[in-house]
Structure 1
Amino acid sequence: METDDEKNRVYASYIYAARMVNEYKWAGDASNMLCWLNEMDKHARSNENPPCVSDYYKGECCLECGAEQEALKFLRKSYEANEEYLFTRSPKAAEFFNARLAEPKIFPKFEDEEYEDFGFPLRLEYFGKALEQEGEFHCAFLDEDGEETDEPSRMHSNAIEFLKQNQEEILTGILAEILKNYPKWQEIYDYPSGTKSDFMPGISTPQELSELLELQNIYILDSAKIGFEFSCSWDMEHDLDIMTRKGEVINIGEAEVAFMAI
């Protein structure tokens, strides 16, 4: 039977492999990325998701990396396990695969929808300075169904102005909430001493989070709710999402929290 220390080492190894997948994906190095995907398969956590999910993840990584032949192989396996799942995920992957089917499927999402990215750049000087990023961030309006829209309502416009006028208070609250939860997450991830300083070092101030976080997307739901999606050093696969209402943090967790209308 595995000891707790052995389980922690295995888990940390899985997280490290996931991070390396992302790094080689961004570098466009398909060969090394595939090697690390194979490393992830060796861990028990890789079996937590059904085959359609895990194979889809590999296919999407390959597609983003430019390895289309490998992407098609994994996406086909995902499709064979569940014919609908693939078409609920990335529009790029869905269109890539659908174009290669002998009989392309037409789902409701493909009707009268071009999967355009309606996102736009939003300049937030304080966010850029505090997070040590460029001051321009990707922002998107979401409708009541959680879908991106290029037709913002007055409530969306009000939310943008609220964010611009209160960005220091909003980000201060977000970082304070992350810092409050950070010790708990350190216990959950429990990185061994050899890798802890790389992924989840001990910190005591919100300013130190700038080395561990990167704001990826901002989602404007309505006049009260704004979501923030961060990549984080300790879990590159799932990210860290924050939902705020009137500037106050109301939910924090893994992917999708930032654009769920709760």
Structure 2
Amino acid sequence: MTTLNDAIFGELKYDYGWVRYTTIEFCGKEAEIALMIKGEEDGKFDEEQYMAYNSLMQKWEQIQYNLLQPILDYYKQKRHELGYDVGHNENYPEIQTTDQILEMINLVGIVVPYGDIYDERDIGITFDCTWDIENGLGLRLLNEQVYEVGYQDVAI
């Protein structure tokens, strides 16, 4: 397995993409995550990838809390689409606050996609969630703002 020590991303291993397992704080709790950097085995990354990652890390203290309301809104929308706002479903309990949604998610990954997909700084965030174990939860951030919320594949 190819390894690389990148000045910005740290020590990465190549396995159909570059990855480093690390710990990051998320809303007051430590989370074990996979930092996934899209790239070829040659280990050359786009300048946009560095910019997106650095900007995310610099603003992480604020950004992490800004993720909760869009996740709560997505959850409520999903719950409604599935009809669980009418009938009871233990996987989709009625919740109202971001503190409640925080209890239902676990940060599991940060994805730095190729830099040429969007003009903006592009980052994916992946979560495991109690209500959809199979598909999980993903967010796409553009310029550190939530652009899309959906299954984990929106982040990858």
Aligned partners of 1:208 and 1:137: how far apart in 2?
A: 21
Aligned residues: 136
Pairwise CA distance, 1:245 = 0.4
TM-score, structure 2 normalization: 0.72
Q: 1:157 to 1:203 in 2, by over 3 A?
A: same
Match of 1:142 among 38, 44, 47: 38
Q: 1:122 to 1:128 in 2, by over 3 A?
A: farther
Aligned partners of 1:153 and 1:181: how far apart in 2?
A: 31
**Partner of 1:250 in structure 2?**
147
Please say if residues 170 and 247 of structure 1, whose CA atoms lie closer than 8 Å, have aligned partners that are also in contact.
yes
Asked if 1:173 is matched to 2:70, the reply is: no
Pairwise CA distance, 1:150 = 3.9
**Partner of 2:127 in structure 1?**
230
Aligned partners of 1:212 and 1:231: how far apart in 2?
A: 8
Please say if residues 141 and 148 of structure 1, whose CA atoms lie closer than 8 Å, have aligned partners that are also in contact.
no
Aligned partners of 2:42 and 2:128: how far apart in 1?
A: 24
Q: 1:155 to 1:123 in 2, by over 3 A?
A: farther
Q: 1:218 to 1:149 in 2, by over 3 A?
A: farther
SS at match of 1:237: coil
Structure 2 unmatched ranges of 5 or more: 1-13
Q: 1:183 to 1:149 in 2, by over 3 A?
A: farther
**Partner of 2:19 in structure 1?**
119
Aligned partners of 1:240 and 1:226: how far apart in 2?
A: 14
Q: Tell me which structure has the larger Cα radius of gyration.
A: 1
The structure carrying a bigger helix percent of its residues is: 1
TM-score, structure 1 normalization: 0.46
Structure 1 unmatched ranges of 5 or more: 1-113
Please say if residues 23 and 33 of structure 2, whose CA atoms lie closer than 8 Å, have aligned partners that are also in contact.
yes
RCO comparison, higher one (Cα < 8 Å, 6+)? 2
Pairwise CA distance, 1:242 = 0.7
1:178 partner amino acid: I
**Partner of 1:212 in structure 2?**
104
Pairwise CA distance, 1:119 = 0.6
Pairwise CA distance, 1:156 = 2.1
Aligned partners of 1:190 and 1:152: how far apart in 2?
A: 44
**Partner of 1:53 in structure 2?**
none
2:141 partner amino acid: T
Q: 1:128 to 1:205 in 2, by over 3 A?
A: closer
1:241 partner amino acid: G
> Identity over aligned residues, as a percent?
25
Q: 1:135 to 1:149 in 2, by over 3 A?
A: farther
CA displacement 1:179-204 (0-9 Å, x = unmatched): 122222112233453x42xx222222
Alpha-carbon RMSD across the aligned residues, in angstroms, is: 2.6
1:253 partner amino acid: G
Aligned partners of 2:110 and 2:42: how far apart in 1?
A: 14
The structure carrying a bigger strand percent of its residues is: 2
Aligned partners of 1:206 and 1:149: how far apart in 2?
A: 41
Aligned partners of 1:172 and 1:218: how far apart in 2?
A: 15
Aligned partners of 2:59 and 2:35: how far apart in 1?
A: 16
